Chains A and B, each alone.
Chain A
Amino acid sequence: MKNLNYSAQRRILIICFLFVPIVLLCTFSFLPLGNMIYYSTLKWNGLSKHKVFIGFANYARLFSDSEYFSVFKVSLYYLAGSVIQLALALFFATILSFKIRGKNLFKGILFFPYLLNGVAIAFIFLFYFKGNGTLDSFLKFFGLEGLIQYWLKDVRWVNISMVFTSIWRYMGFNFIVFLGAIQSIDSQIFEAADIDGANKWHKFIYIILPSIKNILELNLILSVSGAISAFEIPYVMMGGSNGTRTFVIQTVQTAFVNGKLGLASAMAVVLLVIVLFVTIIQKIYFKHNGGNEL
């Protein structure tokens, strides 16, 4: 390598370093995506050797029945939830990167829920929300019996309970990512700010926020797309019943309960287009507001 000049080195390095990742990306993400698009043009139960090509008929069916899209109302809960989740994560990451007693203990505890797997969480929260369960006992302990609700039976509460579970599970993830990003800020900048007499709020607004902008933007994009395609928690806990059905749950049920893999694939393609659209809008917004190229 040493004998090569830097521009040749650079070319070789770019190709070598990107080769494996791109091969993996194509094989395990884009090839299946291509297949999914192909399946969306079929009338097929996902198993039979007899696949019938029907062109855009699945899409036509999807767009002729507004019922398929009515489930997006549920996504609004998750959208609101993801904003709260990111705000909490950012809040905790910020105060725990300043001076505070028991810092490491709190960091560990706040991150802890992320260590659990999905089955454990469904199990825990069934006990949490049921009558006389963990939450009710907890409220009673603080003399707040008046607040007790049918957390899952009451349609006004059930999606809020789902979103709460979702925040509980994933907040630690955003928290640790933000914490890591804040740590990457050069400590000399903070020292300089101290000398200038900046308070914590100023440091947050003028130092932390701009420095972690890319990570924040990515988290926001992933949270929003995650909210639109919310799946695991309402599926494992409620099976999509009692008004908790999301678009992805509907897609999975179309594929495996109704045996229409073609139609389900069309739904997945539509979902991807919606997510992409929303992502691009966010990207444009961030760019417009002075974000950099990433």
Chain B
Amino acid sequence: MKIKRKFLAIITLLALVQTFSFSAANKEDAATDTKEITVITHRTDLVDNLFQEYVKEFNKKYPDIKVNFEAITDYEGEIKIRMNTEQYGDVLSIPKENFPVSDYPDFFIPLGSKTEMEAKYEFISDTEYNGNIYGISTVGNAQGVLYNKEVFKKAGITKMPSTPDEFLNALATIKEKTDAIPFYTNYAAGWTLGGQWEAQAPNLAGDPKWSNYTVPHEDTPWAEGKPYYVMAKLLWDMVSMDLIEDDPTTTDWEACKGMIAKGEIATMLLGSWSIIQMQQAAETLGIDPGVIGYMPFPYTNKDGNMYANVGSDYQLGINIHSKAKNSARLWVDWFTNESGFAQHESGIPALKGSKYPSALIAFQDLGVKFFQNEPSPADEVGLLDEIDAEAEVGRWSENYRMRIVEAAIGNRNETFQDIMTDLNTKWTKARKTLGVK
């Protein structure tokens, strides 16, 4: 009996300790703005080199602000755990997955009104809620296909493929005439079959309203002829026609960079951010970085045009609990307007009127039309992600595309049509559960 009582006492004590420390933490207030900020980033590869140079530049202008970095490897997972408390730095990349804009006001300070920010920056509608903007884009990416120019020349391909069939033909020619792997899936890395593919889908629709106005209101986005279907079919065909690497399960993301530079890989489907990395790999190997080419997704719309969707990478936001909001704002503005980060990433800067990077100027020369997605109507903010989560499809995750690869190899007892039907069924059901018109 005694022990039991003691046990209860311990639990009570524990609860007391906790309430006490809770209230203690709350008592600290943000009366004075400190001059030291912590920036949380997912770029573990840049915190110790490029970002340190940025800090030096920044300190020339604002000598008394100290900037610290915390880099997170599993960004989406960890930052969300931390955001359940107040401990998520001063400046941070706003997580993207399953985090609707409607929740932004609980976590970030508004950076300005829509009208005022719109005049100055690209991609701001992504973080707009009730007329306020909560984040500024670090860099915008265009979506297309990486290729090795030498391999294409060797295979005798002179015209850029502009339909999935032309693309498959080109890959078949490459397989026949060269030793290169026609298309490298990067299956093992996982993420390479996730967002990299999903972000291309609007290219096929060629419609700024497709993502947020069409998809949430249709029952079968994977029906024949629709953008998701066409992309999935291309992936299926490449795998079943043996136009990919011999063993997708042992692909190596690090090695693929050198392989495409050397012409061992002909094509890969990745956003424009990847161009610089392939070029750097080429330089390391003593190869002219000019062999790396970037072409639009091979699909010609009904109007006869090819499109390239341009979307924002992570946006920077400021923690609503920050004790250094002013200093944090100075960093965000400096990073956006003066750091030159977007150029470094061969992407599109958020600051309006900046120059496009050279790889994308080549896109423009081909007559490719760039466009940005229109944000959801105010009463449907977050709806698309909600349906996606309910359906457990995971448009931005790699799961269903990995499943296509596995089935096309013959590792699953399902046909291409089975998978499409299953995705459509899940989508229809989720829309019904949520009562979406």
Question: Which A residues are closer than 8 A to B by beta carbons?
Answer: 11, 14-15, 19, 22-23, 26-27, 31, 45-50, 126, 129-131, 133, 150, 152-155, 158, 238-239, 241-243, 253-254, 256-260
Contacts and interface: CB of A to CB of B under 8 A. Distances in A.
B365 interface: no
Interface stretch (B131-139, B163-171, B395-403): B395-403
Interface in B1-19: 2-3, 6-7, 10-11, 14
Interface in B91-138: 95, 97-100, 103, 106
A22 B399 contact: no
Interface residues of B, number: 40
A264 to B, nearest CB: 11
Given A26-B10, A153-B409, A238 B249 contact: yes
B411 A243 contact: yes
Contact of A46 (B3, B7, B80, B392): B80
A27 B190 contact: no
B363 to A, nearest CB: 31
A204 to B, nearest CB: 41
Interface in B382-437: 385, 389, 392, 394, 397-399, 402, 406, 409, 411-412
Contacts of A257: 97, 394, 397, 399
B250 A45 contact: no
Grouping DSSP codes into helix (H, G, I), strand (E, B) and loop, the A interface class, with mixed when no group exceeds half, is loop
Contacts of A14: 3
B77 A256 contact: yes
Contacts of B80: 46-47, 256
Contacts of B98: 45-47, 258-259
Q: What 8 A-B pairs have minimum CB-CB distances, sorted nearest first? A: A259-B98, A130-B250, A152-B249, A239-B190, A155-B411, A241-B402, A153-B249, A153-B247
B198 to A, nearest CB: 13
A19 B10 contact: yes
B250 A152 contact: yes
B17 to A, nearest CB: 9
Interface of B: 2-3, 6-7, 10-11, 14, 76-77, 80, 83-84, 95, 97-100, 103, 106, 187-188, 190, 246-250, 252, 385, 389, 392, 394, 397-399, 402, 406, 409, 411-412
Nearest to B81: A46
Given A11-B2, A45-B99, A158 B11 contact: no
A82 B393 CA distance: 33
Nearest to A128: B250
22 contacts: A46-B84, A47-B80, A47-B95, A47-B99, A47-B103, A48-B100, A48-B103, A48-B106, A49-B103, A130-B247, A131-B247, A153-B249, A153-B250, A154-B411, A239-B190, A241-B190, A256-B80, A257-B394, A258-B98, A258-B392, A259-B99, A259-B389
Contacts of A254: 392
B323 to A, nearest CB: 21
Nearest to A255: B77
Contacts of A260: 389
A19 B11 CA distance: 11
B10 A258 contact: no
Nearest to B103: A48
A31 B250 CA distance: 41
A259 B97 CA distance: 8
A14 B3 CA distance: 9
A260 B6 CA distance: 38
Nearest to B411: A155
B243 to A, nearest CB: 16
Contacts of B3: 14-15
